[in-house]
Structure 1
Amino acid sequence: MPRPRIALITDPTSPEGCAEYLARAVEALTGAPPVRVDARHFATGGTGQGVHDDGRLRLRVPEDGLDLVPDVVVLYEIPPHRRRSLAAFQQLLERSGTVTLGTGPAAWRAATEKDLTVARFRRDGVAHMETVVLSRPSAAEAAAAFDRLGRDTWARPVIGTGGGDTFHVTTPEALARAADFYARRGTDWLLSRDAGNTTADGLRHQFRVFVLHGRVLHAREHLQAEPDTPCNTCQGAVPVFIDPDDLPPRLAELAVAATASVGLPFAGVDLAIENGGVVFEVNVQPAFVEGELEKAAVPYVQAHLDALAARHPSTVTHGEQPHAWVTERSTSGVGGVIR
């Protein structure tokens, strides 16, 4: 039976574990695990090579003896600060016509760099809390922004992950600490008006909505017992799954609009129902939690297979053994991470 040739390209330095979900999804759908490749080989300065071979893209990592011609590339779990270094590789995938949803460096950048995200939202009329972008501000500039935003705000870096460098700022002292934190790291940052997204019993809450090709695929609500802590699952928030049909229509509409605004085919959108519905951010590669193999990872991989079937219905070899299409590889073994 047909077996597509799938390369799963991820960064093993990420702690999120998405690669495991995606590898399981590939095997569930195709009967064979993907060939797993370390994305750092194809970043700027990496030793990976991409060459055209009879109309197909051949990927090589000479130092590891890796040589493969994939039908599909699943490019995922790339830490935000490393995404720009993969822009040339994304462009190569696009030019070669390789089936993947991981292309589009402009869209990746628009969603990863939150100052650009805010600019897109303003351009397209996507509702969000009032935000000021700050670049090494003076104390007076930071204080003016704080006052303008009502002195109940959230500070976050332009490029960040997991909420570990995000702060609820409600006093001048907290503002000074946040400004010093970002100054020491040399990063621009954003200050946003608080959305007032707390439940009647004092829990901070927000929604994560997965969007794929313009429709809501899956959703969850995050409940955070610590109201001054970001509402991320990695920061202790508890996820509660929501059937897409039960999601408030305004949130579904906003999630789809925000994903389209930054130009992504797939995203995880963080938003709140308060203030008429507002978007916080668009996650290029949303992390999966327990229970989302079938709800998110499998449909995401299936979208790649559907694109392959639509574009190249006769490219898949029938009856081949798993990974027979890998010309050479290192001794790390089939399905192992190539470094």
Structure 2
Amino acid sequence: MSRPCIALITDPTSPEGCAEFLARAVELLTGAAPVPIDSRHFATGGTGRGLPAGDGLRLHVPDEQLDLVPDVVVLYEIPPHRRHELAGFQCLLEDHDVVTLGTGVAAWRTATEKDLTVERFRRDGIAHMETVVLSRPGVAEALAAFDKLGRDTWARPVIGTGGGDTFHLTTEDGVERATAFYAERRTDWLLSRDAGNITADGSRHQFRVFVLGGRVIHAREHLQPEPDTPCNTCQGATPVPIAPADLPPRLAQLAIAATASVGLPFAGVDLAIENGGVVFEVNVQPAFVDGEVETVAVPYIEAHLNALAATRKARPVRRLPA
């Protein structure tokens, strides 16, 4: 097989830097760099076009003088609030059988919009902390939910990233401030019972488990010295890598089940071991930390290449006219 042409489509406005990890993985596996493409070209209103080309799809971006028929499309690092703008492009990739793990509009939406995630978890019996979805509530409604959930809760927006705009609420004043905060931004939000995931030294801790193709490929524990701050690495939590074999089996099983519940082929699942094991959320495109090129980015790109190999065995490759 000749070297495949891999289009790496990401949003350069994202601060997470995942594109660098993925580009390095592509080079390690194929010996060549991917073709970087700004995802915004293919979002609603973008000038990028996908045109039929034999058995593939030609990606044409006149603004960048870019024109190629990729063998593989890696669609990653799309900020949550922009994902819906790529739904049409995802459908186009799927309609033309482009090799990618980045299709699945419904799965992206279910995992991105946390009210839908909670609804799906309830349907499928995925363990999670009791949660109330609040849509532009008044203070009285928010306080009633606060009381129902034991007055030790976490508030977070329905669509968010990196633990931003997330608050640990233990007082009525805090609930009133959170209600006003989300109302000003005109966003729905969730209030969840605290999981009690505190270590003996007072640190908050949780796990990030990477699931690919129905199996755990990597995991890490996050330790947050500020227990009222979200347990995300971008919020100051320290990541501690864990080999899949060393992850408690209950957490591995729960992460796999949660990923399947929302319908994703790959995800980073945030969960805690307390309360018998509970899931906080399923990340469509989890950020990487140092050391995860080999453990996460390479297996993710390898899955694309394996899918390409399977496709080429299933049908002959047609050479396009010059």
Paired residue for 2:174? 174
Relative distance call for 1:316 and 1:156 in structure 2 (3 A) is: farther
User: For the residues of structure 1 that align with 2:273 and 2:297, how far apart are their CA atoms?
Assistant: 26
1:224-239 maps to which residues of 2 (within 5 A)? 224-239=224-239
Output the CA distance in 2 between the equivalents of 1:76 and 1:147.
39
Residues 240-259 of structure 1: matches in 2 within 5 Å?
240-259=240-259
What is the distance in 2 between the residues matched to 1:142 and 1:246? Answer: 40
Question: Could you say which residue in structure 1 is the equivalent of 2:290?
Answer: 290
Q: What per-residue deviation string (whole Å, max 9, x for no partner) do you get for residues 263-299 of structure 1? A: 0000000000000000000000000000000000000
Distance in 2, Cα, partners of 1:138 & 1:179: 7
| Deviation for aligned residue 1:138 | 1.1
Letter in 2 for 1:19: A
Unaligned runs of 5+ in 2: none
TM-score (norm. length: structure 1): 0.92
- Return the alpha-carbon distance in structure 2 between the equivalents of residues 211 and 5 of structure 1: 26
- Consecutive aligned runs of 4 or more in structure 1 exceeding 6 Å deviation: none
CA contact (8 A) 2:197 2:274 kept: yes
Q: Secondary structure, in 3 states, of the residue corresponding to 2:288?
A: coil
Q: Return the offset for 1:53.
A: 1.3
Q: 1:207 corresponds to which letter in structure 2?
A: F
Q: Please say if residues 132 and 192 of structure 2, whose CA atoms lie closer than 8 Å, have aligned partners that are also in contact.
A: yes
Q: How far 1:55 moved relative to its partner?
A: 2.4
Name the structure 1 match of 2:109.
Answer: 109
Q: Helix, strand or coil: the match of 2:142? A: helix
Instruction: Show the counterpart of 2:10.
Output: 10
1:205 aligns with 2:239: no
Cα distance in 1, alignment partners of residues 134 and 122 from structure 2: 17
Tell me the CA shift for residue 316 of structure 1: 9.8
2:62 maps to which residue? 62
| Amino acid corresponding to residue 259 of structure 1 in structure 2 | T
Number of the residue aligned with 2:274 = 274
TM-score (norm 2): 0.97
Q: Aligned partners of 2:40, 2:6: CA distance in 1, in Å?
A: 18
Name the amino acid aligned to 1:141.
E
- 1:76 maps to which residue? 76
Extract unaligned runs of 5+ from structure 1.
Answer: 318-324, 328-339
CA contact under 8 A between 1:219 and 1:244: conserved in structure 2?
A: yes
Question: Match for 2:99: what amino acid?
Answer: V
- Using the alignment, how far apart are the partners of 1:304 and 1:55 within structure 2? 17
Contact preservation (8 Å) 1:74, 1:101: yes
How many correspondences in the alignment?
319
What CA distance in whole angstroms lies between the structure 2 residues aligned with 1:64 and 1:216?
A: 38
**AA matched with 1:102:** G
Structure 2 contact 73–99 (Cα < 8 Å) conserved: yes
- 8 Å CA contact 1:221–1:242 kept in 2: the answer is yes
Note if contact 2:138-2:179 (Cα within 8 Å) is conserved in structure 1.
no
User: Match of 1:45?
Assistant: 45
- Matched with 1:96 is 96
Cα distance in 1 for partners of 2:237, 2:253 equals 24
User: In structure 2, how many angstroms separate the alpha carbons of the residues matched to 1:68 and 1:94?
Assistant: 17
CA distance in 2, matches of 1:279, 1:174: 24
Matches of 2:94 and 2:125 in 1, distance apart?
29
2:154 match: secondary structure: strand
- Contact 1:132 1:192 survives alignment (8 Å): yes
User: What CA RMSD, in Å, does the superposition of the two structures yield over aligned residues?
Assistant: 1.3
> What is the Cα deviation at residue 62 of structure 1?
1.5
d(CA) in 2 for partners of 1:182, 1:257? 31
CA distance in 2, matches of 1:2, 1:45: 35
Residue aligning to 1:29 = 29
Structure-2 separation of matches of 1:166 and 1:65 = 41
Q: Distance in 2 between matches of 1:111 and 1:126?
A: 13
Residue 2 of structure 1 and its aligned partner are, at CA, apart by 2.1
Q: Which has the higher contact order (CA 8 A, sep 6+)?
A: 1
Q: Deviations over 1:20-46 (max 9, x none)?
A: 000000011000000000000000000
